[in-house]
């Protein structure tokens, strides 16, 4: 094969890779969890994943144990808000703002805008409640 042909092939491959990467940039695979905090030992319900538990125990929360009430995986399309009901009384809205920036809205509480790279976790909750919402990119 001639060198010119090889170079043209390389360019085409790079172009296709770029297009694929840009298409993947549009959507975010997210995992939203509704988690109950308690000081009972052991906690009732499904235990949280060890890596999530480790993160939660480093936060200034009053609970020592956590259990999962519900988990939902969602595909956040860019610039589109998606409403997710994690359970009775726990409704969130997730919007993909692009470049891994998400907008999480908790009904009746407020709106959070946060960059959410892989491995980063957003935890939110409020008083008069012993549950929290954990949002992160799905593995």
Partner 1 sequence: MNLEEQLKLQALLDGELPPAEASEVSGRIGRDPAAAALLAELKHTRQTLQQAESPRRLQESRELYWSKIERDLRRFSPPSPARSESGLFFKLRLLILPTAAVAALIIVTLAGHFYPQPVVQRKTADADATTVEPALASTDAMTYRDASEGTTLVWFSDKTATVKPTGTNRVN
Q: Please give the structure tokens belonging to residue 117.
A: 């790279």
Q: Taking the complex as a whole, how short is the minimal distance between the CB of residue 108 and partner 1, in angstroms?
A: 6
CA distance 11 to 4: 11
Strand partners, 139: none
Please name which of 53, 81, 82 lies closest in space to residue 68, comparing C-alpha atoms: 53
Among the listed ranges 7-15, 27-35, 41-49, 77-85, the one in contact with partner 1 (CB under 8 A) is 7-15
Applying CB under 8 A, does 69 fall inside the site for partner 1?
Answer: no
- The footprint of partner 1 (CB under 8 A) covers 3-4, 7-8, 10-11, 14-15, 17-18, 21, 54-55, 58-62, 99-101, 106, 108-115, 117, 119-130
């Amino acid at each position: 094969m001639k060198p010119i042909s090889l170079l043209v092939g390389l360019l085409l491959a790079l172009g296709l890779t770029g297009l694929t990467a840009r298409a993947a940039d549009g959507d975010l695979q997210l995992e939203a969890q509704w988690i109950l905090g308690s000081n009972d030992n052991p906690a009732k319900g499904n235990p949280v994943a060890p890596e999530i538990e480790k993160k939660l125990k480093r936060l200034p929360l009053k609970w020592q144990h956590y259990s999962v009430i519900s988990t939902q995986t969602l595909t956040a399309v860019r610039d589109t808000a998606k409403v997710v009901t994690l359970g009775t009384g726990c409704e969130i809205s997730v919007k993909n703002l692009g470049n891994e920036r998400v907008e999480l809205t908790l009904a009746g509480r407020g709106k959070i805008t946060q960059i959410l790279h892989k491995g980063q976790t957003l935890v939110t909750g409020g008083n008069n409640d012993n549950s929290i919402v954990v949002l992160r990119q799905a593995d």
